Amino acid sequence: MAQWISDADQVRVTAAVAAAEAHTAGEIVTVVADRSDGYSDVALAWSAIVAFTALVVLALFPDFYLALVDRVLDHWQHEWAPREVFVLAIIVAIAKFIGMWLIQLWQPLKFWLVLPPIKSARTLARAVSLFKVGAERRTHGRTGILIYLSMREHRAQIIADEAIASKVSPETWGDAMAAMLAHIKDGRCADGMVAAIEKVGAVLAEHFPRAGDDVNELPDRVIEL
Protein backbone atom coordinates (compact mmCIF):
# COMPACT_ATOMS: atom_id res chain seq x y z
CA MET A 1 0.00 0.00 0.00
CA ALA A 2 1.23 3.45 -0.87
CA GLN A 3 2.05 5.80 1.98
CA TRP A 4 0.01 8.94 1.39
CA ILE A 5 0.84 10.59 4.73
CA SER A 6 4.45 10.94 5.87
CA ASP A 7 5.46 10.80 9.54
CA ALA A 8 5.89 14.58 9.58
CA ASP A 9 2.46 15.03 8.03
CA GLN A 10 1.00 12.66 10.62
CA VAL A 11 2.18 15.09 13.29
CA ARG A 12 0.64 18.04 11.42
CA VAL A 13 -2.74 16.38 10.98
CA THR A 14 -2.81 15.20 14.59
CA ALA A 15 -2.01 18.72 15.77
CA ALA A 16 -4.76 20.15 13.55
CA VAL A 17 -7.32 17.77 15.07
CA ALA A 18 -6.19 18.65 18.59
CA ALA A 19 -6.38 22.37 17.82
CA ALA A 20 -9.88 22.06 16.34
CA GLU A 21 -11.14 19.99 19.25
CA ALA A 22 -9.79 22.54 21.73
CA HIS A 23 -12.82 24.70 20.90
CA THR A 24 -15.56 22.11 20.50
CA ALA A 25 -17.16 19.10 22.13
CA GLY A 26 -17.06 17.45 18.71
CA GLU A 27 -14.65 14.59 18.05
CA ILE A 28 -12.95 14.51 14.66
CA VAL A 29 -11.71 11.22 13.21
CA THR A 30 -9.56 11.28 10.06
CA VAL A 31 -8.99 8.29 7.78
CA VAL A 32 -6.89 8.09 4.61
CA ALA A 33 -7.44 4.88 2.63
CA ASP A 34 -5.47 3.65 -0.35
CA ARG A 35 -8.78 2.46 -1.86
CA SER A 36 -12.33 1.75 -0.75
CA ASP A 37 -12.86 -1.53 -2.58
CA GLY A 38 -11.05 -4.16 -4.63
CA TYR A 39 -13.67 -4.09 -7.42
CA SER A 40 -13.24 -7.78 -8.22
CA ASP A 41 -16.87 -7.94 -9.30
CA VAL A 42 -16.30 -5.09 -11.74
CA ALA A 43 -13.24 -6.85 -13.17
CA LEU A 44 -15.28 -10.03 -13.60
CA ALA A 45 -18.05 -8.07 -15.31
CA TRP A 46 -15.63 -6.50 -17.80
CA SER A 47 -14.08 -9.91 -18.51
CA ALA A 48 -17.52 -11.40 -19.15
CA ILE A 49 -18.47 -8.47 -21.41
CA VAL A 50 -15.32 -8.88 -23.49
CA ALA A 51 -15.83 -12.65 -23.78
CA PHE A 52 -19.48 -12.21 -24.80
CA THR A 53 -18.56 -9.52 -27.32
CA ALA A 54 -16.01 -11.86 -28.89
CA LEU A 55 -18.69 -14.54 -29.28
CA VAL A 56 -21.07 -12.05 -30.89
CA VAL A 57 -18.41 -10.91 -33.36
CA LEU A 58 -17.59 -14.53 -34.18
CA ALA A 59 -21.28 -15.25 -34.78
CA LEU A 60 -21.72 -12.20 -37.02
CA PHE A 61 -18.62 -12.80 -39.15
CA PRO A 62 -17.95 -16.56 -39.00
CA ASP A 63 -16.47 -16.93 -42.48
CA PHE A 64 -13.86 -14.25 -41.87
CA TYR A 65 -12.66 -15.67 -38.56
CA LEU A 66 -12.79 -19.31 -39.62
CA ALA A 67 -10.71 -18.45 -42.67
CA LEU A 68 -8.29 -16.55 -40.44
CA VAL A 69 -7.89 -19.60 -38.20
CA ASP A 70 -7.31 -21.78 -41.26
CA ARG A 71 -4.51 -19.50 -42.43
CA VAL A 72 -2.89 -19.47 -39.00
CA LEU A 73 -3.08 -23.27 -38.74
CA ASP A 74 -2.13 -23.69 -42.42
CA HIS A 75 -5.28 -25.69 -43.23
CA TRP A 76 -6.16 -26.33 -46.90
CA GLN A 77 -9.80 -26.51 -47.93
CA HIS A 78 -10.84 -27.29 -44.36
CA GLU A 79 -14.53 -27.91 -43.79
CA TRP A 80 -15.59 -26.75 -40.34
CA ALA A 81 -17.94 -29.14 -38.58
CA PRO A 82 -20.47 -27.68 -36.09
CA ARG A 83 -18.61 -29.34 -33.21
CA GLU A 84 -15.35 -27.67 -34.27
CA VAL A 85 -17.01 -24.27 -34.50
CA PHE A 86 -18.49 -24.74 -31.04
CA VAL A 87 -15.12 -25.72 -29.58
CA LEU A 88 -13.48 -22.71 -31.25
CA ALA A 89 -16.14 -20.42 -29.75
CA ILE A 90 -15.48 -21.82 -26.28
CA ILE A 91 -11.72 -21.37 -26.69
CA VAL A 92 -12.15 -17.77 -27.88
CA ALA A 93 -14.50 -16.89 -25.02
CA ILE A 94 -12.22 -18.40 -22.38
CA ALA A 95 -9.13 -16.76 -23.85
CA LYS A 96 -10.82 -13.35 -23.98
CA PHE A 97 -12.15 -13.72 -20.43
CA ILE A 98 -8.75 -14.70 -18.99
CA GLY A 99 -6.92 -12.08 -21.05
CA MET A 100 -9.20 -9.28 -19.87
CA TRP A 101 -8.89 -10.45 -16.27
CA LEU A 102 -5.11 -10.51 -16.47
CA ILE A 103 -4.70 -7.03 -17.94
CA GLN A 104 -6.86 -5.66 -15.14
CA LEU A 105 -4.22 -6.80 -12.67
CA TRP A 106 -2.56 -3.54 -13.68
CA GLN A 107 -4.23 -1.35 -11.08
CA PRO A 108 -4.35 1.98 -13.00
CA LEU A 109 -6.34 0.30 -15.79
CA LYS A 110 -8.55 -1.55 -13.33
CA PHE A 111 -9.55 1.65 -11.53
CA TRP A 112 -9.94 3.54 -14.81
CA LEU A 113 -12.49 0.96 -15.95
CA VAL A 114 -14.62 1.40 -12.81
CA LEU A 115 -17.49 3.76 -13.60
CA PRO A 116 -17.59 6.98 -11.51
CA PRO A 117 -21.01 6.22 -9.90
CA ILE A 118 -19.66 2.87 -8.70
CA LYS A 119 -16.57 4.53 -7.22
CA SER A 120 -18.74 7.07 -5.42
CA ALA A 121 -21.10 4.42 -4.07
CA ARG A 122 -18.30 2.16 -2.83
CA THR A 123 -16.46 5.09 -1.24
CA LEU A 124 -19.58 6.16 0.60
CA ALA A 125 -20.28 2.60 1.72
CA ARG A 126 -16.74 2.21 3.08
CA ALA A 127 -16.90 5.57 4.82
CA VAL A 128 -20.20 4.66 6.48
CA SER A 129 -18.80 1.29 7.54
CA LEU A 130 -15.72 2.87 9.09
CA PHE A 131 -17.83 5.53 10.75
CA LYS A 132 -20.06 2.92 12.37
CA VAL A 133 -17.02 1.09 13.73
CA GLY A 134 -14.85 4.03 14.74
CA ALA A 135 -17.03 7.02 15.56
CA GLU A 136 -20.77 6.47 15.62
CA ARG A 137 -22.18 6.63 19.15
CA ARG A 138 -18.69 6.34 20.63
CA THR A 139 -18.82 9.80 22.18
CA HIS A 140 -20.86 10.91 25.18
CA GLY A 141 -22.88 13.48 23.24
CA ARG A 142 -22.84 11.59 19.92
CA THR A 143 -20.69 14.32 18.41
CA GLY A 144 -18.24 12.25 16.38
CA ILE A 145 -17.46 13.15 12.78
CA LEU A 146 -15.42 11.29 10.17
CA ILE A 147 -13.32 12.89 7.44
CA TYR A 148 -12.62 10.08 4.99
CA LEU A 149 -10.33 10.24 1.97
CA SER A 150 -10.03 7.42 -0.58
CA MET A 151 -7.00 8.05 -2.75
CA ARG A 152 -7.36 5.69 -5.72
CA GLU A 153 -11.00 6.62 -6.23
CA HIS A 154 -10.25 10.34 -5.85
CA ARG A 155 -13.24 10.56 -3.52
CA ALA A 156 -13.85 11.99 -0.04
CA GLN A 157 -16.70 11.84 2.47
CA ILE A 158 -17.60 13.68 5.66
CA ILE A 159 -20.04 11.78 7.89
CA ALA A 160 -21.40 13.15 11.15
CA ASP A 161 -22.94 11.45 14.18
CA GLU A 162 -26.53 11.84 15.23
CA ALA A 163 -26.27 15.00 17.34
CA ILE A 164 -24.25 16.86 14.69
CA ALA A 165 -26.50 15.75 11.82
CA SER A 166 -29.54 17.05 13.71
CA LYS A 167 -28.11 20.60 13.75
CA VAL A 168 -25.85 20.76 10.69
CA SER A 169 -27.05 19.94 7.19
CA PRO A 170 -24.77 17.82 4.96
CA GLU A 171 -24.42 20.77 2.56
CA THR A 172 -22.61 22.71 5.29
CA TRP A 173 -19.57 20.50 4.82
CA GLY A 174 -19.20 21.62 1.22
CA ASP A 175 -16.62 24.27 2.10
CA ALA A 176 -14.55 21.71 4.00
CA MET A 177 -14.69 19.29 1.06
CA ALA A 178 -13.72 22.02 -1.41
CA ALA A 179 -10.81 23.16 0.74
CA MET A 180 -9.56 19.60 1.12
CA LEU A 181 -9.84 18.62 -2.55
CA ALA A 182 -8.16 21.81 -3.76
CA HIS A 183 -4.95 20.78 -1.98
CA ILE A 184 -5.22 17.09 -2.78
CA LYS A 185 -5.51 17.77 -6.52
CA ASP A 186 -2.06 19.36 -6.26
CA GLY A 187 -0.68 16.30 -4.48
CA ARG A 188 -0.74 17.81 -0.98
CA CYS A 189 -2.75 15.24 0.92
CA ALA A 190 -1.84 16.44 4.41
CA ASP A 191 -2.56 20.08 3.54
CA GLY A 192 -5.98 19.01 2.33
CA MET A 193 -6.74 17.12 5.50
CA VAL A 194 -5.60 20.05 7.66
CA ALA A 195 -7.76 22.47 5.67
CA ALA A 196 -10.81 20.23 6.04
CA ILE A 197 -10.19 19.79 9.77
CA GLU A 198 -10.02 23.55 10.28
CA LYS A 199 -13.30 24.10 8.40
CA VAL A 200 -15.06 21.25 10.21
CA GLY A 201 -13.68 22.43 13.56
CA ALA A 202 -15.07 25.94 13.01
CA VAL A 203 -18.57 24.57 12.32
CA LEU A 204 -18.43 22.28 15.34
CA ALA A 205 -17.22 25.08 17.61
CA GLU A 206 -20.23 27.16 16.58
CA HIS A 207 -22.81 24.46 17.28
CA PHE A 208 -21.04 22.39 19.96
CA PRO A 209 -18.73 24.61 22.05
CA ARG A 210 -16.29 22.85 24.32
CA ALA A 211 -17.33 22.43 27.95
CA GLY A 212 -14.93 22.80 30.85
CA ASP A 213 -15.09 19.09 31.72
CA ASP A 214 -14.79 17.88 28.13
CA VAL A 215 -12.42 14.94 27.54
CA ASN A 216 -10.86 13.59 24.37
CA GLU A 217 -12.87 10.47 23.51
CA LEU A 218 -11.51 9.51 20.09
CA PRO A 219 -7.92 9.37 18.75
CA ASP A 220 -6.55 12.49 17.04
CA ARG A 221 -4.02 10.63 14.89
CA VAL A 222 -4.94 10.12 11.24
CA ILE A 223 -5.70 6.47 10.47
CA GLU A 224 -4.14 5.04 7.31
CA LEU A 225 -5.71 2.00 5.64
Burial 13-37 (b: 16+ CB within 10 A, else e): bbebbeebbeebbbbbbbbbbebbb
List Cβ neighbours of 50 (8 Å cut-off, separation of 6 or more).
96, 97, 99, 100
Amino acid 117: pLDDT: 94
What band does 169 get if pLDDT is binned at 50, 70 and 90?
confident
Q: Is the pLDDT of residue 154 over 70?
A: yes
Q: Is the pLDDT of residue 136 over 70?
A: no
Could you tell me the domains of the chain? 7-37+115-224 (3.10.310.50), 40-112 (no CATH)
Are 13 and 222 within 8 A, CB to CB? yes
Amino acid 139: pLDDT: 61
Q: Is the pLDDT of residue 200 over 80?
A: yes
Amino acid 185: pLDDT: 83
The predicted model gives 117-125 an average pLDDT of 92
Burial 83-111 (b: 16+ CB within 10 A, else e): eeeeebbeebbeebbeebbeebeeeeebb
Q: Is the pLDDT of residue 142 over 80?
A: no
Q: 3-state class of 114 per DSSP?
A: coil
Q: 3-state class of 215 per DSSP?
A: coil
Percent share of the chain, pLDDT over 70: 87
Amino acid 198: pLDDT: 86
Q: Is the pLDDT of residue 34 over 70?
A: yes
- Per-residue model confidence as pLDDT tens digits over 47-84: 999 999 988 888 887 777 777 766 776 666 667 767 77
Amino acid 183: pLDDT: 85
What band does 119 get if pLDDT is binned at 50, 70 and 90?
very high
What band does 1 get if pLDDT is binned at 50, 70 and 90?
very low
